[in-house]
Structure 1
Amino acid sequence: MTDDTAAPQPTFVLVNPQMGENIGASARAMLNFGLTRMRLVAPRDGWPNPKADALASGAGRLLDAATLHDTTADALGDVAFTFATTARRRDLTKPVFTPEAAMRHAAGLIAGGAKVAVLFGPERAGLENEDVVRANALVTVPVNPDFPSINLAQCVLLMAYEWRRQQDATPPVATEWAGSAPATGIEIERLADHYEERLDAAGFFFPPHKEASMKITLRNLWSRMPLSQADVRTLHGILRQLVRQRDPDG
């Protein structure tokens, strides 16, 4: 794995990171979401850094492939569009994106063949304006304005997650069927018939003028419940047992 052969994706550039631990945690966060391109600009404690390896927790190969640069300008030399992450106002005229919008825009640029980078500043005070001016746009996380500073690795995690969301087709809500399968229309129909028949025999649908609406309500209850085939069998069994206890000869 090298900086230039990874799958199409943004490059994350850590500018003057101070702690090896945060570099390692950033690598782990990146790999969690399928990102493998990291560039380092003048890490305070030098490079390589054994403390980074300790915190990478399985993402050491990403650190091995990270490229080292003396300046931000050098790290961005082959990049067509750069986002700079910042938690404070800069008095610079630039578009400001949320992380989600930034990575959506990045995905479109990358699909068109452009190289995209995201700048992250050092832990103490973030990016300097000398670095920010090299970016085409800013990214600001909508955090608590009274406590806006985000740890370097946490910021990397946020951006990596938003990148992954642009590539992933996972539905926002899904049901785990726990070894069963969704009940079919005919299975729900038979369950409804079973309950309606037994409730009718027990005199549940009373008074007579409300019988039709009560049956519709009951049918609607079954149709809006996300029942599995196992659920249907269980509900049939419950009703049979209740009837058997009430009328052993029935």
Structure 2
Amino acid sequence: MVDHPYIVLVRPQMGQNIGAAARAMLNFGLTRMRIVDPRDGWPNQSAVAMASGAGRVLDDAQIAPDVAGALGDCAFVFATTARSRDLTKDIYSPEEAMRLAVQKIDAGQKVAVMFGPERAGLENEDLVQANALISVPVNPDYASLNLAQCVLLVGYEWMRQRSHVTPVVHEMAGSDWAEVQEVDHLMRHYEDRLEDAGFFWPEHKSASMKLNLRNMWSRMPMTRADVQMFHGILRQMVRWKERDR
């Protein structure tokens, strides 16, 4: 069973764009490329040079004389386009399209995504051979996407749907998050030294100033290394002040 979509480049005009598309594909684990009637013939050395490490995608690429030949064994086909061309078809965002692609591929179907030539995109004769369209939300005043950029966007959404993507990774750099008691000790250290320095003035505002200061410390997500650094800063400032007396 093919476990990811076929990427079908229809009448691509520049070998460099084919190579860049191969790089974009391999970035997101897509390795099955089909090329329909490439303008400059095949194989193409410009494509190989641009692929830069993704040559195996080009080595395995299948060449077809027409769109029907490239899509013949597929059960569901998406076509990327900036406009619907007055055709009655469902238009998906890249995210929803790849969510549907996952479902169909997991059910044993072959899925393809078509991308049009650089100059004007897919023609109506191409689009009618697709089951649905993919439209990328872009600036309406400049909707043209580079071929490889469009492949990259679809590949990214494929990876997001197929793999678990961790939204945020906290790199601790060898430290751990500070415990509540460690932050509390830091609060007291600053309160005591600021009290000595006469910071909490006037007296009737002292309690609210201390409360605000403690609230500030508790809002800060600090590591143990951060806490130690803040202790060290204050100690050094106190030593420096005492040397000047």
TM-score by length of 2: 0.90
SS state of the match for residue 84, structure 1?
Answer: strand
1:2-52 alpha-carbon deviations (Å, 9 max, x no partner): xx76xx222111111122111111001111122111111222222221111
Query: In the alignment, what sits opposite 1:121?
Result: 116
Q: Tell me the amino acid that sits aligned with residue 183 of structure 2.
A: I
Match of 1:220 in 2: 215
Q: Alignment length, in residue pairs?
A: 245
Query: Structure 1 residue 232 and structure 2 residue 241: aligned?
Result: no
From 220, 241, 247, the counterpart of 2:236: 241
Segment of structure 1 superposing worse, 26-35 or 164-173: 164-173
Structure 2 unaligned residues grouped into runs of 5+: none
The letter of the residue matching 2:59 is D
Aligned with 1:130 (options 120, 125, 129): 125
Calculate percent identity across the aligned residue pairs: 64
Partner of 1:192: 187
For residue 82 of structure 1, report the CA deviation from its aligned partner: 1.2
The equivalent of 2:72 in structure 1 is: 77
Distance 1:28 1:119 in 2: 17
Pair 1:98 & 2:78 matched: no
* SS of 1:247 mapped into structure 2: helix
Question: Deviation above 4 Å: which 4+ runs of structure 1?
Answer: none
Shift in Å at residue 102 of structure 1? Answer: 1.7
Partner residue of 2:171 out of 145, 161, 176: 176
Aligned letter for 1:73? A
**How do residues 12-161 of structure 1 correspond to structure 2 at under 5 angstroms?**
12-161=7-156
CA distance in 2, matches of 1:133, 1:198: 76
Q: 1:23 to 1:188 in 2, by over 3 A?
A: same
Q: Deviation at 1:168?
A: 4.1
Q: How has the CA–CA distance of structure 1 residues 37 and 195 changed in structure 2, closer, same or farther, with 3 Å as cutoff?
A: same
Q: Shift in Å at residue 57 of structure 1?
A: 0.5
Match of 1:83, SS state, is strand
Deviates more, 1:12-21 or 1:105-114: 105-114
- Per the TM alignment, residue 242 of structure 1 is displaced from its structure 2 partner at its CA by 1.7
Aligned-partner SS, 1:31 = helix
RMSD of the TM alignment (CA)? 2.3
Worse-superposed segment, 204-213 or 39-48:
204-213
Q: Secondary structure at the match of 1:244?
A: helix
Choose 67-76 or 89-98, whichever is displaced more. 67-76
Provide the residue aligned with 1:10 in structure 2. Answer: 5
Q: How much does 1:194 deviate?
A: 1.4
Q: State the Cα deviation string for residues 74-102 of structure 1 (Å, max 9, x = none).
A: 22222222110011231110111122222
Q: Map Cα deviations across residues 112-151 of structure 1 (whole Å, 9 max, x no partner).
A: 3332211001112211212211111111122232332222
Unaligned runs of 5+ in 1: none
For residues 49 and 239 of structure 1, do their structure 2 counterparts lie closer, same or farther at Cα, with a shift above 3 Å needed?
same
Give the secondary structure class of the aligned counterpart of 2:239. helix
Deviations 1:153-188 (A, max 9, x none): 121112112222223433334443344333232322
Task: Spell out, residue by residue over 1:195-225, the C-alpha distance to the aligned partner (whole angstroms, 9 max, x if none).
Answer: 1222233333333433332222112111221
Amino acid at match of 2:196: A
The residue type paired with residue 63 of structure 2 is L
